[in-house]
C-alpha cells in the first residue's frame, strides 16, 4: 500500500507562517542592529523612581516570557513568529536588570529592545485577532474563549512602554522627574490604568468561561 500523501497546509496557514517568519526575522534584525552599534558600559545606578520603572518592566517581561514560552510550546511553535516574544521578553529583562545595577547597554540599544517589544506586541495582537477571525464563527464566544488570547501580546507592548518610560525620564533643574513634559506620576498612572483595564477584561472573559465556579473568581 502506498502511504497517504501528506496534507498540504491551507493557503491561510502558509501566509500566516510566512508573516510569522518575517516578524521573527525583523525582530532579530532590529535588536541585532541596535545592540551591535553599542558596547556594554558601566554607569551609576539610576535614581530610585527610574530603577522602579525598570524593575516593573523586567517583572512584566518575566511574566510575558513565562506565558509565551509555555503557551507557544503547547502550540508546538507551529508559527515561526511564536519564537519572537520569547526572545524579546528575555532581552528586555536582561536590559532592564542590567540598567538597575548600573551595567548595561547604552540608551540607543535599550530603546531598540523596548521599541521592538512595543512593535512586536502590536503585531501579536494582529496575529491573535487573525487567528480568531479565520475560524468558523469569527468573533464568537467560542473563539474568544479558546482561540489565541487577543489581549495577551499587549503585555509585551506594555513592558516595552515601561522600559521606554525609564529610558526617557528626565530630571528637571528643580529636581523633578518628567516624562514627555508630564510629571512621571501622571504618565505612569495613565499607563497603569490602561494596563489594568486590559487585565480586567481578559480576567473577566476567562472567568466567565469558567462560569465563576469559584467565588474568588
Residue 153 belongs to some domain of the structure = yes
Count of domains observed in the chain: 1
Instruction: Answer yes or no: is 148 within a domain.
Output: yes
Q: Is residue 56 part of a domain?
A: yes
- Looking at the chain, the whole-number percentage of residues with pLDDT higher than 70 is 77
7 lies in a domain? no
C-alpha cell at 54: 525598570
User: The dihedral of CA 141, 146, 147, 150: what is its sign?
Assistant: positive
- Does a structural domain hold residue 144? yes
- The arithmetic mean of pLDDT across residues 5-25, rounded, is 63
% of the chain exceeding 90 in pLDDT: 12
**Does pLDDT of 36 surpass 50?**
yes
* Residue 180: inside a domain: no
Distance CA 176, CA 187 (A): 14
Mean pLDDT of 51-65: 90
- Name all contacts of 192-200 with Cβ < 8 Å and 24+ positions apart: 194/158, 195/154, 195/155, 195/158, 198/151, 198/154
In this prediction, residues 76-84 reach a mean pLDDT of 85
DSSP 59: H
Alpha carbon distance 166, 205 (integer Å)? 32
Distance, CA of 49 to CA of 2 (rounded, Å): 68
In the block, residue with C-alpha cell 532579530: 28
**pLDDT at position 117:** 92
Helix (H, G, I), strand (E, B) or coil at 183: strand
pTM: 0.79
Among 90-94, 108-112, 133-137, name the one with the lowest average pLDDT: 108-112
Could you list the residue range(s) of the whole structural domain that residue 127 is in?
Answer: 16-167
Grid cell listed for 130:
487573525
Amino acid at each position: 500500500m502506498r502511504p497517504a500523501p501528506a496534507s498540504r497546509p491551507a493557503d491561510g496557514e502558509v501566509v500566516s507562517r510566512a508573516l510569522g517568519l518575517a516578524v521573527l526575522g525583523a525582530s532579530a534584525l532590529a535588536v541585532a542592529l541596535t545592540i551591535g552599534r553599542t558596547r556594554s558600559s558601566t554607569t551609576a545606578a539610576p535614581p530610585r523612581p527610574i530603577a522602579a520603572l525598570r524593575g516593573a518592566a523586567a517583572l512584566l517581561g518575566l511574566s510575558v516570557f513565562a506565558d509565551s514560552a509555555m503557551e507557544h510550546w503547547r502550540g508546538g511553535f507551529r508559527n515561526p513568529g511564536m519564537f519572537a516574544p520569547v526572545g524579546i521578553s528575555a532581552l528586555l529583562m536582561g536590559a532592564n536588570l542590567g540598567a538597575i545595577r548600573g551595567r548595561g547597554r547604552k540608551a540607543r540599544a535599550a530603546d531598540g529592545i523596548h521599541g521592538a517589544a512595543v512593535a512586536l506586541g502590536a503585531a501579536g495582537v494582529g496575529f491573535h485577532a487573525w487567528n480568531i477571525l479565520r475560524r468558523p464563527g469569527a468573533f464568537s464566544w467560542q473563539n474568544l474563549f479558546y482561540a489565541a488570547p487577543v489581549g495577551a501580546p499587549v503585555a509585551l507592548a506594555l513592558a516595552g512602554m515601561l522600559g521606554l518610560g525609564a529610558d526617557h525620564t528626565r530630571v528637571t533643574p528643580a529636581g523633578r522627574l518628567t516624562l514627555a513634559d508630564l510629571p512621571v506620576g501622571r504618565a505612569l498612572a495613565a499607563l497603569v490604568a490602561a494596563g489594568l483595564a486590559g487585565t480586567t477584561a481578559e480576567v473577566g472573559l476567562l472567568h466567565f468561561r469558567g462560569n465563576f465556579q469559584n467565588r474568588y473568581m
